[in-house]
């Protein structure tokens, strides 16, 4: 479990991360995105259609006990993680789309996450103490909207401050996970060795399957390769630190420890899987760019 100090630190870090997310876009960006809502809609379907259902399915198929199941469903219902923007940037995919999907899913989270959490918890038969009160989740999200809006205002007032905060927020997203690894993993080393395989499978699989499904849906809706790769990363990468924060604010003691397991494992492994996928995507992207270049030089014998 996390100490009081760690929970507070996590809260502060989340604030900065959301500040950074807010600073990554302008009010205008939203309006522009809404004029052609297809990309945003695809993102929302991936985020709140595919992912929660995938989480529920994995929890059922693997027969997870309620404590683990609620953790898995929670992380599956989370909005897109801000780290997806960094991975998108590094994989040379469409950064603007990634930022927009993250932001829109975070705004929609206010309504979608409590509702979906309620729905899938019920469907999974989670009762009593393990239920996360929808009000709690909504509260956390409302609190986080404040720094998001401040970020947007800062961006508008001073682009230099805005862009710096954007970068800081993105870096901190990774820092939080590193922080978890350093502070949480050693203390729970014993627990990790006795954690059964299917828990790992659920934690890793949620991200990986999410990417595969996101990519497939994007392709199905005729998005080009670059956009499809963006949507894949965006779908697979959830806001892990947010889930960890909600768990620590809702549960204590042994219960917290149990519910926290999958969100923490997810957050650790998503960095690894996303990094690997990013390297691969980057290679694909470079190859396609090269192919486009040589196509421009023209055929040897135009007919």
Residues that bind another protein (CB under 8 A): 26, 28, 31-32, 35-36, 96, 155, 159-160, 162-164, 166-167, 294, 296-302
Whole-number minimum distance, CB 144 to another protein, in Å?
Answer: 23
> Which CB, 25 or 46, lies closer to another protein?
25
Bridge partners of residue 238, in order along the sequence: 80
Query: Residue 165: which residues within 8 A CB-CB, separation 6 or more?
Result: 16, 19, 20, 23, 151, 154, 155
CB of 297 to another protein, least distance (A): 5
Closer CB to another protein, 85 or 121, in the complex: 85
SS3 content of the chain, % helix, strand, coil (to 5): 85, 0, 15
- CA–chain centroid gap for 86, Å, is 12
Query: Shortest Cβ distance from residue 118 to another protein (Å)?
Result: 37
Residue 223 phi, psi dihedral angles, 5° rounding: -80, 145
Q: How far is the CB of 294 from another protein (least distance, A)?
A: 5
- Smallest separation (angstroms) from another protein to the CB of 291: 11
Nearer residue to another protein within complex by CB, 5 or 31: 31
- Residue 156 and residue 162: Cα distance in Å, rounded? 8
Beta-ladder partners of 208: none
Nearer to another protein, 75 or 165 (CB): 165
Cβ proximity to another protein, 166 vs 234, nearer residue: 166
3-state class (DSSP) for residue 301 = coil
* Residue (of 47, 133, 107, 71) closest to 262 by Cα position: 71
């Amino acid at each position: 479990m996390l100490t009081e100090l760690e929970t507070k630190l996590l809260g502060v870090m989340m604030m900065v991360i959301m500040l950074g997310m807010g600073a990554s876009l302008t009010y205008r960006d939203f309006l522009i995105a809404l004029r052609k809502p297809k990309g945003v809609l695809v993102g929302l379907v991936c985020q709140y259609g595919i992912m929660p259902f995938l989480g529920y399915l994995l929890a059922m198929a693997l027969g997870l006990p309620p404590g683990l199941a609620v953790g898995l469903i929670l992380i599956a219902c989370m909005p897109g993680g801000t780290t997806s923007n960094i991975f998108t940037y590094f994989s040379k995919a469409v950064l603007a789309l990634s930022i927009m999907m993250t932001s829109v899913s975070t705004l929609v989270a206010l309504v979608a996450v409590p509702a979906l959490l309620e729905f899938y918890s019920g469907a999974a038969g989670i009762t009593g103490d393990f239920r996360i009160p929808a009000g709690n989740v909504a509260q956390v999200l409302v609190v986080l909207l404040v720094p998001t809006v401040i970020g947007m205002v800062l961006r508008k007032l001073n682009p230099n401050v805005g862009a710096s905060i954007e970068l800081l927020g993105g870096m901190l997203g990774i820092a939080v996970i590193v922080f978890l690894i350093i502070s949480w993993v050693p203390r729970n080393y014993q627990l990790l060795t006795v954690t059964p395989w299917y828990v790992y499978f659920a934690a890793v699989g949620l991200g990986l399957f999410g990417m595969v499904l996101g990519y497939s849906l994007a392709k199905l809706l005729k998005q080009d390769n670059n956009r499809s790769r963006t949507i894949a990363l965006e779908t697979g990468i959830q806001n892990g630190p947010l889930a960890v924060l909600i768990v620590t604010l809702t549960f204590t003691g042994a219960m917290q420890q149990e519910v926290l397991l999958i969100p923490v494992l997810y957050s650790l492994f998503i960095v690894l899987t996303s990094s690997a996928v990013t390297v691969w995507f980057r290679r694909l992207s470079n190859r396609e760019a090269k192919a486009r270049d040589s196509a421009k030089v023209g055929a040897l014998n135009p007919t």
